[in-house]
Amino acid sequence: MGVKALLVTVLLTAAVGYYMYTPLPDAIQEPWKLMMVDAGIRTAMHLASLKHWLGLDHSMMSFRQSLEGLESTVKRLVSSESSGRVIPGVKISDITFAGIPVRVYEPPAGGEGHLRRGMMYFHGGGWALGSGKKGAQDAVNRMVSDELNTVVVSVEYRLYPEVLFPVPYLDCLAAAKHFLSPAILAKYSIDPERLVVAGDSAGGNLAAAVAQEISVDESVAVKFSVQALIYPALQALDFNTPSFLQNQHMPILPRHTMVQFWLQYLGADLSLLPQLIVNNHSASQNSGITSELRSRIDWTTLLPQKFKKNYKPVVVEKGSQEILKKVPGFLDVRAAPLFAGPEVLAKCPRAYILTCEFDVLRDDGLMYARRLQDAGVSVTSEHYEEGFHGSFSFIFWPVDFDVGKRSLRAYINWLQNNL
């Protein structure tokens, strides 16, 4: 190899390394693997932004397609059988519930006289990405169906930019009510006393919101007995909680990306992002936010000291009074379940809430666990000190992490014992 070729190789290698490198906490296991995953996601996002700038496609739709391409590449690296994604005997049906596309997983066991557990699952992806029919979500639902003798219904709710809030929530609610109807429970031999609504990230948001609405809706005779929330997003007024500050640059979900997801979901102008980052939309003099509402997301009282660390509240005195008027969804409990009153929380089903230390959404989940407990609801709070956002989905080679496998096993074991 000539000197010039060697120099070019060294420079390219250094450039790739610089692009991939992201400082990570010492507690993160296999940091370079996480850096590689993050680099792939950032590359897909950059390409999507470029296509949007060129007028070729909407950035989020392009990003969605790029992520699907990455997933297809991973699938080609390893067969489904070796990764455990195919579960013999689990019957898969792609149908609709109340007009909403769903995938139904039926376990091989059961039959007449043998009632089974029932689960409704909402996938994550910032209300803009993802599908319950693909990747880890599909694999986990197959495992739950098989191991726990559970009929799992994964909902394909509509996504941004095709729709905005409250459409995804209404899709999930409609599917849930259909699922809980006596006719459907009888059709699938589901025990009406062993029903769980679950979801991860944005799906956890939808699961919590649906659980609340079903709990207080007197027209729904059968209720969910359990809610299982995997690092849920539950509020959009304070983007300076300790976890948002501590993990603002962490893969897979940096703070600015989560704020962007919220703006998109609520149909707000993305130019508002800098104001939300500094909490200008939740100023102390904003007449639309009562002291009672603030107390429901007050991390200074709701978080244990070990999570508060030395962080201080970021409260702007005046800020922008117009943001909440233009985007009322910020205060809508259907979008932000953490705002629910204690009278609503008291009626909610017992909960399993998984949180990760290196996740901007950590404190949302921890605050919700505390508020549910204060309302008298039984809560299992599962926290992973070395966990990061998305780790629950990284369970198959070549993007498998030990914390993901352990959290998945704990989730299944808890459902086994509590549903």
Decide if 409 is inside a domain.
yes
Looking at the structure of the chain, the number of domains it has is 1
pLDDT of res. 16: 47
Model confidence, pTM: 0.92
Decide if 2 is inside a domain.
no
Decide if 217 is inside a domain.
yes
Task: Measure the CA–CA gap between 256 and 273, rounded to whole angstroms.
Answer: 8
Could you confirm whether 201 is annotated as catalytic?
Answer: yes
Q: What is the CATH number of the domain that holds 364?
A: 3.40.50.1820
Which of 359, 363, 391, 393 is catalytic? The answer is 359
Which of 138, 215, 389, 391 is catalytic? The answer is 389
Decide if 75 is inside a domain.
no
pLDDT in tens, the chain (419 residues): 565 555 544 444 434 454 567 889 999 988 999 988 888 888 877 777 777 677 776 777 776 776 666 565 545 444 443 444 567 789 999 999 999 999 999 998 655 568 999 999 999 999 999 999 988 999 999 999 999 999 999 999 999 999 999 999 999 999 999 999 999 999 999 999 999 999 999 999 999 999 999 999 999 999 999 999 999 999 999 999 999 999 999 999 999 999 999 999 999 999 999 999 999 999 888 878 999 999 999 999 999 999 999 999 998 888 888 899 999 999 999 999 999 999 999 999 999 999 999 999 999 999 999 999 999 999 999 999 999 999 999 998 888 999 999 999 999 999 999 99
* Residue in 255, 250, 204 with CA at minimum distance from that of residue 368: 204
Domain span holding position 353: 83-235+332-418
Decide if 365 is inside a domain.
yes
Could you confirm whether 256 is annotated as catalytic?
Answer: no
pLDDT of res. 83: 43
Which of 59, 62, 154, 201 is catalytic? The answer is 201
Decide if 129 is inside a domain.
yes
Decide if 102 is inside a domain.
yes
Decide if 346 is inside a domain.
yes
